[in-house]
Structures are given as structure tokens and as C-alpha cells.
Structure 1
Amino acid sequence: MAKESSFDIVSVVDMQEVDNAFQQARKEIAQRYDLKDSGAEIALDKAKQTITVSAPADFVAKQVIDVIGSKLIKRGIDLTAVKWGDAIAATGQSVRRVATVVNGIDKETAGKINKDVKALKLKCKVQIEGDQLRVSSASRDTLQEVIAFLKGQDYGQPLQYVNYR
């Protein structure tokens, strides 16, 4: 029997790069003339993997989020890995927005990916292993087809394809 080839589908975000982007954004907010004395603040919680933006108005909060987004892109982090929540009214007229950094593939998304790959009717197996998926097949060409198909799909988070052997 031919040796099976496989690869893993994961969704991993380097929190050190998120921290670097956060530090750069914090410096830019402190230096930009339109945000310098606006009272806007950002905070990063590495343990919970959240970014919190506090601003005096929703407009300022959106500007701060744009700054953070530009820094994340420069550090090579896909913006779909950061899910921003709705604006929450804080004290006075200030606004707070919290973003969570998506790490790992949840069960619902994993099931959707599994269903989509099986719908291709290719000779491959998909196994859900915690927060990642393993796709295996006897043919490497089949695995390449699966990767090409998945790159064309949108699952609301970035996917990486690792351990290809």
C-alpha cells in the first residue's frame, strides 16, 4: 500500500507580533496630532488574547482601530484574525471596544471545512483534532487540490497549511 501524505489546517496567530503591533500603535497614538490629547487608550491582555480600545467618541475609537489594523498588517497578521466587538458605552460619553484574537479553529468552522472538503468528492480523509484538522490522502496532487480549494474559500479567519508530508 502506498504511504499516505498529509497536512494540517491550523489557525495560529503569533502573539509576539500582536504585541509588537500594539506597541507601535501605542507610540503612534501618543504622537499623532489628532489623537495625542484625545484621551484614547489601548490595552493588550496577552493571557486573554484581547485588545481593548477606550476613546471619548466612537469616531476616535474607529481611528484608533484603523491605526492598530495598519500596524497588524505591517507585522504580517491577517485582520480576519482579530474580531472586534460592538461599541460599549463607558463612563460619560466615552466608548469602549474589545477585540479578541482568534487562535485555533472552533468546532463549527472545523465542521464546515470538513463538509466542504468532503463535497469535493476527492479521495482524502479529514480528521478534526482539537483546534486543527488533518487531511490525508495517498495522492499529493489531491492534497494540493484541497489546499487550492480552501485558499479560495472564506471561513472568517486565516488558515495556515502546515506539516505537509
Structure 2
Amino acid sequence: MASTYSFDIVSDFDRQELVNTIDQAVRDIKSRYDLKDTQTTVELGEESITVNTDSDFTLESVHNILREKAAKRNLSQKIFDFGKVESSSGNRVRQEIKLKKGIDQDNAKQISKLIRDEFKKVQPSIQGDAVRVTAKNKDDLQAVIQRLKQEDFPVALQFTNYR
């Protein structure tokens, strides 16, 4: 009976937690004295967050608020990809923050190579924007998870479908 066990390595985030984070950040921006009269807007789109405010200083404050609120809701800081700051109408600044979801091919190859080099009894396979890891022993899979948690990849990693 050669049964195999597996799990998936994915990069995802809880959309509802992100919505709650944005709501809390907007409330915080409206109540803070230094940001009250800046007419700052934070809009959540399908794949990005758009921040529109009156200066680079207030933009930096909005970044700090967003990061703080996301951390409190257990969202990784790695999901935020801060874009270029653009000038907007009326001496305002605008920035689009892309939301990273899924493991790109380069990172998937890097993860697979690390697993293949360090764990001989484990087989990684890239499946779209996820990496599936299979082995005959659950302990080997646990060791892989612990090893990947030690690495600092540019994307947030979650381990799902453990069976």
C-alpha cells in the first residue's frame, strides 16, 4: 500500500480581511488630526488599491496605516506592491498599490529547486500559480513546510490541501 500524501503551496489572501483593513484605514484617516483635511481617498479595486491624497508626506502616513491595519488582521505585507507615485490634478498625488496573488513562474521554480535539492524523498510540481508537493511520508512534508517558513520569498506563502 504505497499511499502518498500531498499539500499545495499557494500565495493568496483573505479578500474580506482586506476589505475590513481598508474600511478601518479609511476610518482612521478621517479621524486623525494630521490627515483630516487632506481629502484622502483609498479605493479598493479588483486587483489593486488606489490612494489619492494631497502630498507625499500624507501618502507615507496612509502607507503606515494600511500596513498596520493589515498586520493586525494577519495579512502579509508581501501582498502589497507599491507602484510609482504620480502627480494628479490640483497638486495632489496618486498611487496604485497592486495586490499580489499567486506564485509566479520564477518563484515557483525557485521553491521547487529548493525542495528538490534539500529533500530527496519529496516531489514538487508546478501547477499554474501553485506548487504541489507529494511524498510517501507525512513527516517529510512537515519538514518541507518548516524549511519553507525559514526562507524569505518575495511572496506570501500559505500551505493548503494537506492530505
TM-score (norm 2): 0.94
Question: 3-state DSSP class of the match of 1:80?
Answer: helix
For 1:146, what is the secondary structure of its paired residue?
helix
Q: Does structure 1 retain, via aligned residues, the 8 Å contact 2:124–2:131?
A: yes
Deviations 1:8-30, CA, capped at 9 Å, x for gaps: 10111111111111011111111
Identity of aligned residues (%): 37
Give the TM-score taking structure 1 as reference length: 0.93
Out of 86, 99, 102, the position equivalent to 1:101 is 99
Q: How does 1:1-165 map to 2 (within 5 A)?
A: 1-45=1-45, 47=46, 49-165=47-163
Q: Distance in 1 between matches of 2:9 and 2:54?
A: 41
Are the aligned partners of 2:112 and 2:124 in contact in 1 as well (CA < 8 Å)?
yes
What is the deviation of 1:60?
Answer: 0.7
Separation in structure 2 between the aligned mates of residue 89 and residue 123 of structure 1, nearest angstrom: 54
Structure 2: how far apart are the matches of 1:71 and 1:119?
38
C-alpha displacement of 1:91: 2.3
**Structure 1 residue ranges (4+ consecutive) displaced by more than 6 angstroms after TM superposition:** none
Q: Deviations over 1:90-123 (max 9, x none)?
A: 2243211111111111111111111111111421
Matched length: 163
Secondary structure (helix, strand or coil) at the match of 2:8 reads strand
SS in 2 for 1:85: strand
Structure 1: which 5+ residue stretches go unaligned? none
Structure 2 regions of 5+ residues with no counterpart? none
In 1, Cα distance between equivalents of 2:116 and 2:87: 45
Aligned Cα RMSD in Å?
1.3
Distance 2:129 2:141 in 1: 20
- Residue 39 of structure 1 and its aligned partner are, at CA, apart by 2.5
